[in-house]
Amino acid sequence: MPLLWIRVDPKGEHFLNSLVEQPDYMFIEQLLDKNVNGQIEAIDYLSKRPSIQICETFERILENTQMFYRVRVRILYVLAKISLENYIGFQRVIQFFIKKFCVQSSTVIKPNDFNFINYFLQKNSIEALSFTNPSIVKKYNGRTVRSANIICAFMINILRFNDNSMNSFSDSEYISNVIKGLARPLIEISQRKVKEDNMMNENGIKIEDNDNDIEDHDSINMMNDSIKIEEHDLEDNPFFYDDLQNEEPSSSSSDSTNTLNYVDIAVKEVERYRLLDMVFPSHENKITESALYLLGKLAISNCISLKKETLLSLSEYPNAYSVRK
């Protein structure tokens, strides 16, 4: 019988760090074994030298319901970080989410139904996307696709149409992950707009000033759930690209408009959840804590401005300790 793979100290009986050098096909065989520790070791090694074959193996493991859920969660984080010439990992994560948690043959998100395994897959799918490189740019036949725009629109769509009315469990941790996951792509979009505007100014091209500062978050009106995404200029950036066939506007003017709308819409949705968290508090105001995390990140990156009085009021009792700190 041929040697399938090699592992050092498989039972963890010794205090040591080991490095195993073996061909990729041996790590793939180890990944297909039923030993969870061996599977995680194989994932860690294979993630350092990704290829199309390895990524396809990851996808098969991710779809396999017989695999231990932590192994599948680990693969979500690995896929979200992979970007090859002909393979974009975060797109596969979004496809998995849509297949698993959306109505069949559509992108309409199902009402939350948190059983043990599905909850961790759903929550970690969103968190994994927050680790995706937001500056990935792919061009196909003149079409430009940016990862930050796709992820932002995807997460905004989840916030807008999240339905936990029929669920027996709280979705505060899940929503908190979505809100925090918006920080990195929103900052990337805003910074890209600033760079493009600076380049246009250096070239002597006159551009219109867009006020992207939001002074008073308490005055933002709660958005109507029936409003469609297209009405907020997201039609050029649908939250799911089918095999990267959709086109994103390449002109600087339209891109600036989309940038402004992404930050504006995201802040309005987050503010809606923060206000709801004041009326129907989550455990330790988890949603408010996440909202402050996102708004703070955006403020530090000069995407928005915050009122000092509002922050001081949130730092006082009876707000939860997690909010005040």
Domain contains 67:
yes
Banded model confidence at residue 75, pLDDT cuts 50, 70, 90:
very high
Shared-domain flag, residues 180 and 284: yes
Counted domains in the chain: 2
Banded model confidence at residue 254, pLDDT cuts 50, 70, 90:
very low
Tell me the C-alpha distance between 106 and 92, whole Å: 16
Domain end position, chosen among 88, 116, 132 = 132
Please check whether residue 93 is in contact with residue 128, taking contact to mean a CB–CB distance below 8 angstroms.
yes
Please check whether residue 265 is in contact with residue 239, taking contact to mean a CB–CB distance below 8 angstroms.
no
Shared-domain flag, residues 38 and 122: yes
Per-residue pLDDT reduced to its tens digit, 17-69: 888 889 999 999 999 998 999 999 999 999 999 999 999 999 999 999 999 99
Domain end position, chosen among 82, 102, 132 = 132
Banded model confidence at residue 260, pLDDT cuts 50, 70, 90:
very low
Q: Which two tokens stand for residue 171?
A: 């979705």
Q: What is the pLDDT of residue 96?
A: 95
Domain contains 234:
no
Q: Which two tokens stand for residue 71?
A: 């192994």
Shared-domain flag, residues 176 and 271: yes
Please check whether residue 7 is in contact with residue 30, taking contact to mean a CB–CB distance below 8 angstroms.
yes
> How many Cβ atoms are within 10 Å of 277's Cβ, its own excluded?
21
- Percent of the chain scored above 90 by pLDDT? 47
Average pLDDT over residues 209-234: 32
Q: What is the pLDDT of residue 1?
A: 60
Shared-domain flag, residues 40 and 173: no
Q: Which residues contact 22 (CB under 8 A, 6 or more apart)?
A: 5, 6
Shared-domain flag, residues 105 and 36: yes
Please check whether residue 86 is in contact with residue 73, taking contact to mean a CB–CB distance below 8 angstroms.
no
Helix (H, G, I), strand (E, B) or coil at 287: helix
Chain position carrying tokens 């979705």: 171
Domain contains 276:
yes
Q: What is the pLDDT of residue 140?
A: 59
Per-residue pLDDT reduced to its tens digit, 107-151: 789 999 999 999 999 999 999 999 999 888 877 567 777 889 889
Give the CA distances from residue 274 to residues 108, 115, 159, 163, 279, in Å, rounded to whole numbers and listed in that order: 24, 26, 12, 16, 9
How close are the terminal C-alpha atoms of the chain, in Å?
60
The number of angstroms, rounded, from the C-alpha of 56 to the middle of its chain's C-alpha atoms is 21
The boundaries of the domain holding residue 159 are: 134-195+262-324
Please check whether residue 38 is in contact with residue 24, taking contact to mean a CB–CB distance below 8 angstroms.
no
Tell me the C-alpha distance between 306 and 298, whole Å: 10
Cis peptide before 134 (omega within 30 of 0): no
Angle between helices 89-101 and 69-81 (to 10 degrees): 140
Lowest pLDDT segment from 1-5, 120-124, 181-185: 1-5
Shared-domain flag, residues 26 and 111: yes
Shared-domain flag, residues 124 and 157: no
Report the mean per-residue pLDDT for the chain.
Answer: 80
Shared-domain flag, residues 153 and 287: yes
Write b or e for each residue in 176-213: b if 16 or more Cβ atoms lie within 10 A of its Cβ, otherwise e.
bbbbbbbbbbbbbbbbbbeeebeeeeeeeeeeeeeebe
Shared-domain flag, residues 46 and 172: no
Q: Which helix (H) or strand (E) holds 44?
A: helix 36-46
Shared-domain flag, residues 169 and 310: yes
Helix (H, G, I), strand (E, B) or coil at 145: strand
Helix (H, G, I), strand (E, B) or coil at 140: strand
**Secondary-structure breakdown of the chain: helix, strand, coil percentages, each rounded to the nearest 5:** 55, 5, 40
Tell me the C-alpha distance between 243 and 14, whole Å: 47
Shared-domain flag, residues 162 and 271: yes
Average pLDDT over residues 236-257: 34
Q: What is the pLDDT of residue 141?
A: 66
Please check whether residue 182 is in contact with residue 298, taking contact to mean a CB–CB distance below 8 angstroms.
no
Please check whether residue 303 is in contact with residue 263, taking contact to mean a CB–CB distance below 8 angstroms.
yes
